[in-house]
Structure 1
Amino acid sequence: MCQITKSVNKDGVTHAIVQRVRTLGLLTTFAMLAACSIVPGERMVQPPTLPVSNADDGTATGAQQVPITDITLATVQQAQQSYVQGDANDLTPLFGDAGPYKLGAGDVLQITVWDHPELNAALGNPTASTRPSDAALGFIVDHDGNLQFPYVGTLHVAGDTVEQVQRKIYTNLSKLMVKPQVTVRVASFRSAQIYIDGEVRTPGSQSINDIPMTLTEAINRAGGFSPTADQSHVVIVRNDKTYYVNVAQMLHNNQNPSKIVLKNGDILRIEAREDYGVYLMGEVNKPGTVLPMRNGKLSLADAISQAGSINNGTADAKELYVIRGGPGLKPQVYHLDATSPVSMLLANQFELEPKDIVYLDAGGLVRFSRVLNLLLPLVNAGLTAAVVTK
């Protein structure tokens, strides 16, 4: 009798465990089927909606759809045409002819009157300090733009060229001497300078001298672009206005950057490529930030290549997206089916913009497998608890 009772109890416990396992199995199945529709990384089939804010107080007033645009040959050609035309940044005030150097306050002149050595004493003491901050020996143009020279007196030379100053001195000395031989040269250029900052090898101030201070000359004096420089983002600040110069685009449009002439007080800044990176996310081998080339350009194919290419084991190559947008800009989403050879040609011609997000979606089976890996520990825990309680 005791053996029959134990057998019945044992069969009851076994039957209860089986019932619980079946229940957990059904719940797991329903959970996995439901998870397939909400799993992270689902395809961007329906255009997403974004809130539209009020320009005055920033409150949301509605929503707008962000359409998904397929990357086609027409899309690429339109982008290339916009690149050739450039933006609305007017660089006209920067162009001009340098002309001869004009003297200013602080410049030091070396003036020689041949066969009159007594005038050499006016140059100063040759044993004076020669620190870089000290003026060279010679005649200094004062803050009023005047120059003092023996037998001539005071001459206003600010804004004059060296040749004009030489003629003025010759005219005045001719009243006392017979055909004086006068030579004038600038011993130290100190009246005008610019400041170069950013991604150059030797940033700092550069004095403007008799060699025209063009954009290329300024960069050359600073040691050239550094390896981290973005040649498409060159900034020139003049007075209270900022100009953005795309050197790579100028060369592409057959424009010579040497036509841009810098003036006294200008600030030239070369920005870094790391400030204009593109974000690679999703099923690529090396997700992260990808930097543009030195000319500031970065195609979709270049970005994928720098990210270690597509992960063939997990990626759905049909679902490649480029998300573009920023503060004050209308969001845009571009889609590319990267399974065909033609798509790789389009990807090589589709130029990315700074702060773009390139996202490659996972395959359906991969998404299902990831959800299953999340649910299996819960199922195992439930089975273990059922066995332990009985």
Structure 2
Amino acid sequence: MKKTLQQLAPISSTTRARAAKTRAAALAVLSTLLAACSVVPGQHMETPPSLPVSATPDGAVQQAEQIPIQAIDLNLINQMRSGASQMQQAKNLDLFSKPAPYKLGPGDVLQITVWDHPELAAALGQQVQDNKAADPGQGFVIDDRGNLSFPYLSHPIHAAGQTISDVQREVRKDLSREFKEPQVTVRVASYRSAQVYVDGEVRAPGGQAFNDIPMTLTEAINRAGGFTSNADRAHLTLTRNGTSYPIDLTQLIAAGKNPQDIMLKPGDMLRVTGRDQNQAYVMGEVNKPTAATPTTDGQLTLGEALSQAGFINQGTANARQLYVIREQDGKPQVYHLDSASPVSMLLANQFNLQPKDVVYVDNGPLVRFNRVLSLLLPAINAGLTAAIVTK
């Protein structure tokens, strides 16, 4: 009997050791479970969202800044439309003007004819080399100081900044000292002193010279060959004297303003951006995350962006948590739409997106739980395997 008890004693201690190992493995699995429950894989919108905590150069920690969330409703849409319209009109106020006569400048070539005076018929001016086949080969060039010389004039005429009528009147007055009531005709043979530059999504980008036809916004675009198929007509930029003026052709026409009334000036630069440069990004629980492209008129609504992304994923999305994240004055601005009801898509079709906006559709609680389990299952399987091996 003593021998039997002595043989059972070591077996009992071995069993206790194995049981301890099993408990340790179970505790490890449980600790992994508890730790993983606090981590949700993938992106998730925090409510309320906040900017990340940052440290100042002196080492002090700044408090997290809460980001306000605005609900997308009819009041917000009307407010945004009114604000955008007023801003557009204020920025373009300086661009509208009436056409003025062409002002001559250095480099322009003039043809001057004095009728009934054969001795001046040979005064054709110098040979002018120009790339444009339509330009005449000879004429009187206004020099770099803006002066114009012509035979029998008592002195050169300062033509820069004057109109053709002004120069014609001065030439006639000066020639009256030598000739009796001379009949003088002055016309511009080649316009070379002033240009605007048209760049971006036009068919023939480059410099466009001013002439007797007023250089309006539409005239400059037409001379550049018109818009390409990728042109965004809502995002044109006119740069003048270091100041940029955004121009929305679609909004101007909708407001009853004629783009022909926008007069360009020498040295202006007009840029037409492409639609692929003004995309909005649709992310989260949608069927096809994508970069949504505006239409040819430059408009892109929230509903159109969701359509390009294949709409909301009904199996994984939380339709009540649809957000639009936008950068405004260097800070993020968040807009929220409860899209659980199909009626809410009417609001989505009226909410205009801006370039680089991010549309995010959050996932549901069950989806997050399933993703947590997908992280835990490998750890659980490994723990159970270790426990079985130790037995």
Into which bin does the TM-score normalised by the smaller protein fall?
0.7 to 0.9
Q: Give the Cα separation in 1 of the matches to 2:383 and 2:223.
A: 73
Whether the 8 Å contact between 2:29 and 2:383 is mirrored in structure 1 is no
Matching residue of 2:360: 359
TM-score by length of 1: 0.82
Matching residue of 2:322: 320
State the shift of 1:217 in Å: 1.1
TM-score by length of 2: 0.82
- Counterpart secondary structure, 2:193: coil
Gaps in structure 2 of 5+ consecutive residues = 1-6
- Counterpart secondary structure, 1:150: coil
Asked if residue 228 in structure 1 is aligned to residue 220 in structure 2, the reply is no
Matching residue of 1:139: 140
Provide closer, same or farther for how the CA distance between residues 349 and 58 of structure 1 changes in structure 2, counting only shifts above 3 A: farther
Whether the 8 Å contact between 1:51 and 1:61 is mirrored in structure 2 is no
Q: Give the Cα separation in 2 of the matches to 1:255 and 1:32.
A: 65
Q: Identity of paired residues, percent?
A: 54
Q: Give the Cα separation in 2 of the matches to 1:147 and 1:58.
A: 69
Asked if residue 287 in structure 1 is aligned to residue 282 in structure 2, the reply is no
| One-letter amino acid matched to 1:144 | R
Provide closer, same or farther for how the CA distance between residues 347 and 27 of structure 1 changes in structure 2, counting only shifts above 3 A: farther
Aligned residue runs from structure 1 range 97-116, under 5 A = 97-116=98-117
Aligned residue runs from structure 1 range 121-136, under 5 A = 121-124=122-125, 131-132=131-132, 136=137
Which of 233, 242, 251 does residue 253 from structure 2 map onto? 251
Whether the 8 Å contact between 1:41 and 1:362 is mirrored in structure 2 is no
Q: Name which of structure 1's ranges 340-349 and 281-290 shifts more when overlaid on structure 2.
A: 281-290
Provide closer, same or farther for how the CA distance between residues 198 and 32 of structure 1 changes in structure 2, counting only shifts above 3 A: same
What does the per-residue CA deviation read over 1:3-29, in whole Å, with 9 as the maximum and x for residues that have no partner? xx9xxx9xx99xx69x95x98788767
Q: Give the Cα separation in 2 of the matches to 1:334 and 1:235.
A: 27
State the shift of 1:334 in Å: 1.8
Matching residue of 1:74: 75
Whether the 8 Å contact between 1:89 and 1:244 is mirrored in structure 2 is no
What does the per-residue CA deviation read over 1:183-223, in whole Å, with 9 as the maximum and x for residues that have no partner? 32111001111222222221111111111111111111112
Asked if residue 373 in structure 1 is aligned to residue 374 in structure 2, the reply is yes
Matching residue of 1:240: 242
Provide closer, same or farther for how the CA distance between residues 297 and 172 of structure 1 changes in structure 2, counting only shifts above 3 A: same
Q: Give the Cα separation in 2 of the matches to 1:336 and 1:130.
A: 61
Q: Give the Cα separation in 1 of the matches to 2:271 and 2:58.
A: 35
What does the per-residue CA deviation read over 1:55-101, in whole Å, with 9 as the maximum and x for residues that have no partner? 99997543332233322222222222222222585333322222111
Which of 275, 297, 300 does residue 298 from structure 1 map onto? 300
- Counterpart secondary structure, 2:287: coil
Matching residue of 1:189: 191
Whether the 8 Å contact between 1:337 and 1:343 is mirrored in structure 2 is yes
Aligned residue runs from structure 1 range 47-66, under 5 A = 47-50=48-51, 61-66=62-67
Whether the 8 Å contact between 1:324 and 1:333 is mirrored in structure 2 is yes
What does the per-residue CA deviation read over 1:11-52, in whole Å, with 9 as the maximum and x for residues that have no partner? x99xx69x95x9878876785676455314576463123368
Q: Give the Cα separation in 1 of the matches to 2:328 and 2:201.
A: 25
- Counterpart secondary structure, 2:218: helix
State the shift of 1:294 in Å: 3.4
State the shift of 1:286 in Å: 1.9
Provide closer, same or farther for how the CA distance between residues 222 and 346 of structure 1 changes in structure 2, counting only shifts above 3 A: same
Matching residue of 1:92: 93
Q: Name which of structure 1's ranges 297-306 and 235-244 shifts more when overlaid on structure 2.
A: 235-244
- Counterpart secondary structure, 2:343: helix
Provide closer, same or farther for how the CA distance between residues 51 and 382 of structure 1 changes in structure 2, counting only shifts above 3 A: closer
Matching residue of 1:204: 206
Q: Give the Cα separation in 2 of the matches to 1:146 and 1:68.
A: 64
Q: Name which of structure 1's ranges 288-297 and 139-148 shifts more when overlaid on structure 2.
A: 288-297
Whether the 8 Å contact between 1:197 and 1:203 is mirrored in structure 2 is yes
Q: Give the Cα separation in 2 of the matches to 1:287 and 1:23.
A: 44
Matching residue of 2:279: 277
Q: Give the Cα separation in 1 of the matches to 2:169 and 2:209.
A: 26
Matching residue of 2:3: none
- Counterpart secondary structure, 1:320: strand
Q: Name which of structure 1's ranges 51-60 and 69-78 shifts more when overlaid on structure 2.
A: 51-60
Q: Give the Cα separation in 2 of the matches to 1:151 and 1:204.
A: 40
| One-letter amino acid matched to 2:243 | K
Matching residue of 2:338: 337
Cα RMSD after superposing both structures: 3.8
Q: Give the Cα separation in 2 of the matches to 1:241 and 1:56.
A: 34
What does the per-residue CA deviation read over 1:252-276, in whole Å, with 9 as the maximum and x for residues that have no partner? 2222222221111222222333333
State the shift of 1:350 in Å: 1.1
